[in-house]
Chains A and B, each alone.
Chain A
Amino acid sequence: MDASVDMNPEDWVDLYGDNLFRYAQHRVKEMAIAEELVQETFLAAIQSQDLFKGHSSEKTWLFSILKHKIIDYYRSKKKEILNPDIEEWTQNIEDFFNAKGAWHIKPQAWLSDPERAYEFRQFLDLLYKCLSKIPQRIANVFVYREIDGLTTQEICKLLEISVTNCGVMLYRARMQLRRCLESNS
């Protein structure tokens, strides 16, 4: 692990640059943006090398940073990337249920497309876009947990929050994300 940290960051560009770029371009489509995101990823990596310690591998870590950058990019886009009519998923958590504790908008059945590969790609595209619509603090916790693969303990330590707080944020993120995915597909 220490050997990797001492490794020349410029070598990372040769080792992982193409892969990162390919992933970024797959998400954001535009080459120039993809390039910029990869650049930002490497810069963020070199700035936070000490945070790398304990992560599974450099590649995973770099990809994590890139994914966060992609979500940030979507967040910054002025152009609407999702259906503007659907605002329900930004509801307060209380609005998901009525006074009796039953679902206000009932979860629908998610139908699988016969062509699985296509469905999977569309799903992930939408997932990242939805994450950019959820309040950043909450979205981050979800990304750390489900995409970066951190445990709740690790997240609590990283963000200096309580386990309860972490649980609440994950709950809110999941509720909003699920609803966003449902209403945009």
Chain B
Amino acid sequence: MKHWMLHCSEVSEKVSAHMDTPLPFRERLKVHIHLLMCKYCLRFYRQLRLIRQYCKMDELPKTDSNTTLSPHAKEKIKAILRQYRDK
């Protein structure tokens, strides 16, 4: 058993950790080498990056600018907020 080679299970954990706190150089190197040889983990890494990117791009839809809250709905909400404040 090549003890210096990482398993996919370990790589998946490290890839996830790297998304939040950059891995130390040596760890990063080991992961990088694994990714060069393992297309599944490489996919995993890219997919996590894609998910993050899409989450960040989640904006208000540009279409349907006619969709608005009815004045009635707005008043209803304001009334509820007033009620809460007056408690």
Chain A residues with CB under 8 Å of chain B are 9-10, 13-14, 17-19, 21-23, 25-26, 35, 38-39, 42-43, 46-47, 67, 96-97, 100-103, 106-110, 120-121, 123-124, 127, 145-147, 149, 151-152, 167, 170-171, 174-175, 177-178, 181-182
The smallest beta-carbon distance between B27 and chain A, in angstroms, is 14
Q: Are A145 and B40 in contact (CB under 8 A)?
A: no
> In residues 8-54 of chain B, which contact A (Cβ within 8 Å)?
8-10, 12-13, 16-17, 19-21, 40-41, 43-44, 47-48, 50-52, 54
Q: How far is the CA of A96 from the CA of B9 in the complex (A)?
A: 8
Q: Are A167 and B51 in contact (CB under 8 A)?
A: no
Q: Scoring B residues 61 to 78 as 1 if CB is less than 8 Å from chain A, else 0, what string do you get?
A: 100110111000110111
Report B-chain residues with C-beta under 8 Å of the C-beta of A23. 60-61
Most B CB atoms within 10 A — which of A35, A110, A127?
A: A35
- Once A10-B78, A127-B51 are accepted as A-B contacts, the answer to whether A167 and B9 lie under 8 Å apart by CB is no
Summed over the interface, the residue pairs from A and B with CB atoms below 8 Å come to a total of: 127
Q: Are A106 and B40 in contact (CB under 8 A)?
A: yes
Q: How far is the CA of A15 from the CA of B33 in the complex (A)?
A: 51
Q: Are B48 and A178 in contact (CB under 8 A)?
A: yes
The smallest beta-carbon distance between B65 and chain A, in angstroms, is 8
Q: Are B74 and A13 in contact (CB under 8 A)?
A: yes
| Candidates B21, B43, B64, B77; contact of A17 at CB < 8 Å | B77
A-B contact pairs, 5 of them (CB 8 A): A21-B69, A21-B73, A103-B8, A147-B58, A178-B48
Chain B residues with CB under 8 Å of chain A are 7-10, 12-13, 16-17, 19-21, 40-41, 43-44, 47-48, 50-52, 54-58, 60-61, 64-65, 67-69, 73-74, 76-78, 80-82, 84-85
Q: Are A175 and B20 in contact (CB under 8 A)?
A: no
Tell me whether chain A's interface is mostly helix, strand or loop, or mixed.
Answer: helix
Report A-chain residues with C-beta under 8 Å of the C-beta of B77. 13, 17, 38-39, 42
The smallest beta-carbon distance between A71 and chain B, in angstroms, is 12
The smallest beta-carbon distance between B67 and chain A, in angstroms, is 5
Q: How far is the CA of A181 from the CA of B7 in the complex (A)?
A: 24
Q: How far is the CA of A27 from the CA of B36 in the complex (A)?
A: 38
Q: How far is the CA of A101 from the CA of B60 in the complex (A)?
A: 41
Report B-chain residues with C-beta under 8 Å of the C-beta of A101. 7-10
Q: Are A43 and B67 in contact (CB under 8 A)?
A: no
